[in-house]
Chain A
Amino acid sequence: MKFFILAYKNLKRRKLRSFLTIGGVAVAVAVLVSLLGFNAGYQDALTSDVDKMGYQVVVTAKGCPYEAATMILNGEAGLKFIDEDIYKQITSDPDIDKITPLLAQLAYDPEKMEGKGGFTNYLGIEESYMPLKPNVEIIKGEWFSGNDVNEAILGYEAAESEQKSVGDKISIPGKDITLTIVGVFNRTGSQEDGTVFLPLKTTQRIFDTEGKLTGIGIKLKQIEKISEFEDRLYPIASIQVISMSQVKGTILNLVNSAKVLIMSVAFIAIFVAILGVINTILMSVSERTQEIGIMKAIGASKLDIFKLIWIETLIVCTLGGIFGSIIAIIGGNLVELLVRKAMPYAPSGKLLLITPDLLAYSFLGVIIVGIISGLLPALKAASMRPIEVIRSGE
């Protein structure tokens, strides 16, 4: 039996109080780990979403650039249209490496989501789409047989949720058209997994938008040249150029300002937890005045008592750290669900990224908190004089 066991036994003696204190530390740690995990996860997921898009620059009709970018990230349409001529006009720009026209459309499907109804995204594309999407490939079937054929390629999740495969037929709600599925894309982890892809011309025909596009995806030879490129497009009044890295930065800025607020809440939680630990240990020191006096009378040194009380604090904080991490890992999915509902734009990857590194740092943090919050009670206990206790016991 050494100091550790002695400290542990004392905590065990007041189970409820120790449990509540450990719970307080655990909640603070869980909040902190979740927030830091969310911070890292959101940034990673957003970066990966933007990278998977393949385009560095998107040309759209004029409007709120962030709304447009968000819609593009979500694979949605509902935007103003731009003329297909603009595509032809800028395609010869010397700075462009790859370029592809896009026509996004939405259709409400009352049968979707097991009868609850929902929107299906349709994206009209051309063969130039594929070189811009290095991570997209056809895993089943093949590319469209022509430019204006009633054929569709399904995103991975679209195929899975509709239970359709190559050769099956699908119809577009509200349109009197039947499409034959000719291919299925691989899972990319982006929003486009749920999209139905059609040839551009077919989309224009079905949705009565001949000669129109909703966007142009562009990869420049050198991204640094973006401002010159933008300047050249400036005279075309009806369009705007959106750089995805700007979009990323802006969304992160929005998230960051919310994060600062949440972080202050987390720090308050930690501060309250520290006070809780100090209070619990101080209270237990006061209650054990006699016991500590006895220990000193039978030979415990100041250091012995200091160590004993300090170890108690460390046990509380360490256990709180362990339970907090477990809560963060288990509860992370729940938090992710809540965050997804609350955020205007949530990337498709995992939002909460709890890495071993993050856990290790949080743990280190909680140990430091333990060391600091144990100081006061331990010093108080160590400075008690045994004679006073013996006398009061007389």
Chain B
Amino acid sequence: MMGELVVKASKLKKEYSSVSQRIVALKEIDIEIKKSEFVAIMGPSGAGKTTFLNLVGCLDGLTSGKLNILGCDPTGLNEDKLSRIRVEKIGFVFEDFFLISSLNALENVQLPLIFSRNYKNNNRPRDLLKRVGLSHRLTHFPNELSGGELQRVAVARALANNPEVLLADEPTGNLDSKNAQELFTLFRDLNREKGLTIVVATHNVKLGYSADRVIHLSDGKIEKDERLVGENGR
């Protein structure tokens, strides 16, 4: 299955225009990401990392070019079809965690199951929180959890519907180095255990280089595409 493509982008372009200016965030880039790859997208602010993840995550539409995610072309799909893809096939982890403050850890993880009408899988949220080391924090609310714990709840939530790809946008931006390292170790383990495809946008060079492949973006273009397989034990 190693050859199966999760993301295939060709001449992918994304432009944001406002009254005063036009910003080209991605300048016709070509990227292919295979199933079970652990990819880090690196680059300075404004390089296009988040834009790329938003396009791959069906959160935003492209300006031109071609994009194929898990065999689907998201261009032209209506919002409900896109949300269907997001809930069933894609897991998101954000820099700001974005947990729902009125729900406890367990309920936050249950949320995607509600949206996918998957009411049968009752034990999965509990198992996932156990997997991320939070079985003792199930009924804690976000304001009662530390940054590292919040992000692990967010990872458990992203995995709730057993997605085919996990997209993480600066997941360690609000974490200290110890928690950041632990989160990347968790990503690495999930990638190895289940063959989960992971795409992480990060500033952190050390963490970025713990992935299998590092794509350097700069000013909307791919500067370098390094495959580190072997170096990281794969």
Contacts and interface: CB of A to CB of B under 8 A. Distances in A.
B83 interface: yes
Interface in A299-343: 299-304
Interface residues of B, number: 33
A390 interface: yes
A387 B92 CA distance: 13
A270 B94 CA distance: 44
Interface string B88-104: 10101011101011110
A394 B95 contact: yes
Nearest to B90: A299
Counting chain A CB atoms within 10 Å of each CB, which of B54, B115, B116, B157 scores highest?
A: B115
B114 A3 contact: yes
A301 B84 contact: yes
Given A2-B114, A394-B95, A298 B86 contact: yes
A299 B88 contact: yes
Interface stretch (B105-113, B182-190, B202-210): B105-113
Nearest to A8: B102
B161 interface: yes
Interface string B37-66: 000000000000010001001011000000
Contacts of B54: 387, 390
Contacts of A302: 79-80, 83
Nearest to B16: A391
Interface string A271-300: 000000000000000000011001111111
Given A298-B111, A298-B115, A299-B161, A393 B59 contact: no
Interface stretch (A9-17, A144-152, A189-197): A9-17
Given A386-B59, A390-B59, A393-B94, A10 B80 contact: no
A6 interface: yes
Contacts of A9: 102-103, 107
Contacts of B158: 298
Contacts of B116: 299
B125 to A, nearest CB: 9
A295 B80 contact: no
A1 interface: yes
A10 B102 contact: yes
A295 B115 contact: yes
A1 B115 CA distance: 11
B87 interface: yes
A299 B115 contact: yes
Interface string A117-144: 0000000000000000000000000000
21 contacts: A2-B114, A2-B119, A3-B114, A6-B111, A6-B114, A9-B103, A294-B94, A295-B100, A297-B92, A298-B112, A299-B84, A299-B86, A299-B88, A299-B90, A299-B116, A301-B84, A301-B87, A301-B115, A302-B79, A386-B59, A387-B54
Interface of B: 50, 54, 57, 59-60, 79-80, 83-84, 86-88, 90, 92, 94-96, 98, 100-103, 107, 110-112, 114-116, 119, 157-158, 161
Closest 10 CB pairs of A and B: A299-B87, A294-B98, A13-B102, A299-B86, A301-B83, A299-B115, A300-B115, A387-B60, A387-B59, A301-B80
